Amino acid sequence: MDKNSKIYVAGHTGLVGSAFVRQLKSQGYTNLVLRTHQELDLLRQDEVECFFEKEKPDVVIDAAALVGGIKANSMAPADFFYVNMQIEQNLIWTAFKNKVKKFLFLGSACMYPKECSQPMKEDELLTGLPEITNEGYALAKVCGSRLCSYLYKQYGADFISAIPANAYGIGDNFDPEHSHVIPALLVKYTKARKNGDPSITLWGTGKALREFIDTDDMADAGIFLLNNYSGYEPVNIGTGEEISIMELSKMIKKITGYQGDIVTDPSKPDGMMRRLCDNSKINSLGWKSKIKLEDGITKLYKWYLEQTQGGKDNE
Ligand SMILES: NC(=O)c1ccc[n+]([C@@H]2O[C@H](COP(=O)([O-])OP(=O)(O)OC[C@H]3O[C@@H](n4cnc5c(N)ncnc54)[C@H](OP(=O)(O)O)[C@@H]3O)[C@@H](O)[C@H]2O)c1
């Protein structure tokens, strides 16, 4: 990929797509092609075909998807399956037909089997069933990844896929109904500090271990893979830094300045006790995570305050 390659970032208004745009620009890639959902509905094959025939991008980064939490996924498996299958099939196949030189498909760690050994290695895909609550989404994502692999195997097309860990970052969703754990905790602790609440209750034992990656770090890894990887297997993107939910809470308590106690409620579910990507493949290719969790969350909190309070952490 050279600096004036024509790069189409699908889903550039989203959490991950917007990070790719930031990183590409900061690394000197300026020839970007962007379309909002309104300008190009990726569910419409005819529209996708017209777009590729007109624009002829050299490189495609697929960060467009229907994404949601456990509740949304478990209530609408048909939507999550259909929409994601349709977007990825339209994008991948049309890109292939239009001789796109390099394609990066973004999967998700939920593609791995529920009973996967930890840390999760790329060759464990399809060795078991995914978690039932997001099965529709996970199956669609596995299919997208495999379509890239098959194009590589059958036609030698340079279509690759990556499996990033849980992401957080600028542009994250802070709506309590839809937010991931890090923005949810940032809001919770900020409110508790303002209300002077003596304690905060954490669901579960706090012992479950998780891995989180800053979206700028993830995008940096994706660009690295575009430049340095070709192959059948997907590649995990993670930090290798594991943290318990309790330690994460303490970190967020410190960042938000909350002074009260953290109390656990072990009657509530922990979810999986460990969920970590094996990053040996991307590390051996030469990429290592650059953004420490505490630094990334501090940056995100600053951004959140700028959006909500003009940057001031009002008491
Ligand atoms: N967030 C994470 O923790 C995480 C972790 C690992 C991997 N990923 C992967 O990264 C990708 C993006 O996730 P995200 O968190 O960035 O999601 P997101 O914030 O919801 O962004 C999704 C993007 O796709 C666009 N889109 C959805 N349907 C479309 C359609 N029919 N036509 C055109 N554009 C459409 C959205 O536009 P509108 O908003 O206008 O609909 C938005 O720009 C997904 O494949 C996901 O699996 C995410």
Q: What is the pLDDT of residues 152-193, one digit of tens each?
A: 999 999 999 999 999 999 999 888 777 788 999 999 999 999
Indicate whether 2 belongs to any domain: no
Indicate whether 287 belongs to any domain: no
pLDDT of residue 311 exceeding 60, the answer is: no
Give 285 Cα–ligand 1 centroid separation in angstroms.
Answer: 27
H or E segment and range at residue 222? helix 215-228
Among 8, 16, 60, the mutation site with the greatest number of ligand 1 atoms within 8 A of its Cβ is: 16
**What pLDDT is stored for residue 315 in this prediction?**
47
Q: Is the CB of 119 under 6 A from ligand 1?
A: no
Q: What is the dihedral of CA 201, 205, 207, 209, to 10 degrees?
A: -70
Listed residue (248, 242, 252) closest to 300, CA to CA:
252
Which residue is catalytic, options 137, 168, 189, 304?
137
Query: What is the pLDDT of the chain when averaged over all its residues?
Result: 94
Q: How confident is the model at residue 33 (pLDDT cuts 50, 70, 90)?
A: very high
Q: Whose Cα sits closest to atom 15 in ligand 1?
A: 15
Residues 54 and 110 in one domain: yes
What is the three-class DSSP state of 193?
A: helix
Q: How confident is the model at residue 312 (pLDDT cuts 50, 70, 90)?
A: low
User: Angle at CA 28, nearest 5°, toward 18 and 67?
Assistant: 15
Indicate whether 174 belongs to any domain: no
**What pLDDT is stored for residue 313 in this prediction?**
62
Give 225 Cα–ligand 1 centroid separation in angstroms.
Answer: 20
**Strand pairing report for 7-10 and 32-33:** parallel
Q: Is 29 a catalytic residue?
A: no
Q: How confident is the model at residue 288 (pLDDT cuts 50, 70, 90)?
A: very high
**What pLDDT is stored for residue 38 in this prediction?**
98
The domain in which residue 303 lies consists of 181-209+242-272+292-309
CA-to-CA dists, residue 135 to 7, 104, 141, angstroms = 31, 22, 10
Tally of structural domains, the chain = 2
What token pair was written down for 62? 């697929």
